[in-house]
Homo-oligomer: A and B are copies of this chain.
Amino acid sequence: MEFFKTLTLPQVLAHLTDSGITAAHFETVSLLDALGRIAASDCLAPEDMPMFDRSTVDGYAIIGRESAGASEAIPGFFQLAGESLMGEAIEQQLQSGQAVYVPTGGMLPPGADAMVMIEFTEKMDHETLLVYKPSPPGAHISYRGDDVRKGDIVVAAGRRIDSYDIGMLAGAGYDTVCVYRKPKVAVISTGDEVRPVGEPITFGQIYDVNGYTISARLLELGCDVVEKALVSDNYEMLRETVETSLAKADIVILSGGSSVGTRDFTARVIESFEGGRLITHGIAIKPGKPTIVGKIDDKFIIGLPGHPASALIIFNAVVKPLIYQLMPHAPTPFVIEALLSENVHASPGKDTFQMVQLYREGSSWHCKPIYAKSGMMSLLATASGYIHMTNEKEGLSAGTAVDVYLLQEVRL
């Protein structure tokens, strides 16, 4: 038997980090198109927000201390002195004893320092307003810069822009946003037994599960899938497809059979290129050992294991961090503490990932390990996340509180 160079997961990740791979280029997109993209630079507020002292209610702007002591029995008397129109600046100085109507969101006249809600007022005649309740200085006012100060960061570089961020950017007046270009990834499925979906298959064949799962996962992370190919276990064809892919992609992902033969093809193809070198032929990780990481010049080629569940674990553990280097952002993995429903075994000396299904009982989360024979897809349909046992641990017993990493990205 041939002995392969095998690295641990931290060693592989160190290779990715030290690789000198730099972020992809920037591009400027219109505000709504920035949804889901990664901000490439800090977006600053060009002005204070709000830009002016505004009312948070429908009512009258007054000098607050002049309403002191006002009550139903003994109302305060104010002189009606016009109104502040929505969308317009008001320059008229409020004089002592005056009240100016201001709708919600409207600008306060200079000199006013409080709003009295319309509910607590009554017009005695065209010139006189009765105020039935005191409004202390500052009441119902949102001051200039209260929300965001000029120069504050509205959306920080590296943030995945969601609908709530779009709102912040709109508030600051951005109509375009500078985001990282989408990393371009090629996905190549290999295997004589692998057939394209939509065609009939016969005994001995399977459909191209990994090609689709990995492509969909890439789209979810915000990548461009620039190539999606399916080649049989033929060295020349595989090499040719990798060559074409290298010309247009930042990363090439191969996923194929897990048999030794298939893996050898991948390794040979990588080494056949000038500037091609194998970084690892196997990772000390369970599941996912038969993973190949190589580089051709400055581009990474990752050979994922053939089993769909293993391929996805490696995708999340290795490919995702690589993508995050091309469009730098550091999402906090969403971790939830849950109680193990049964004992779980780990493989000493390996990073062990165990898929689990989360369920809630009363107010606590519980998790149930999901076991499946190698190659089963149905694992994908039922798993909500995984627990990660580092090589110190031999296993965990039922009832232990464990950290469950969700399979999908969550905003906090």
Contact = CB atoms under 8 A, between A and B. Distances in A.
Interface of A: 1, 31-32, 35, 49-52, 54, 56-58, 84-90, 103-107, 118-119, 142, 146-148, 154-155, 162-176, 191-199, 201-213, 215-217, 219-220, 225, 232-233, 257-262, 306, 308, 312, 334-337, 357-358, 360, 363-365, 372-378, 380-381, 383-384, 401, 403, 406-408, 410-412
Contacts of A308: 167, 171
A308 B56 CA distance: 12
Given A167-B308, A191-B86, A381-B165, A376 B197 contact: no
Nearest to A215: B32
A51 B334 CA distance: 37
Nearest to A383: B164
Nearest to A89: B203
A193 B86 contact: yes
A202 B47 CA distance: 11
A216 B163 contact: yes
A198 B176 contact: yes
Contacts of A154: 381
B175 A197 contact: yes
A376 B147 contact: yes
13 contacts: A32-B212, A35-B220, A86-B193, A87-B191, A87-B195, A105-B257, A146-B373, A147-B373, A164-B312, A164-B381, A164-B407, A167-B312, A170-B211
A217 B365 CA distance: 28
Contact of A171 (B49, B50, B191, B377): B377
Given A52-B204, A56-B373, A56-B374, 8 more contacts: A51-B206, A87-B193, A89-B204, A147-B377, A164-B380, A167-B210, A336-B336, A337-B363
B51 A201 contact: yes
A363 B410 contact: no
Most chain-B CB neighbours within 10 Å: which of A52, A206, A215, A225? A206
Contacts of A192: 85-88
A120 to B, nearest CB: 11
A306 B375 CA distance: 52
Given A31-B197, A201-B51, A308-B167, A261 B217 contact: no
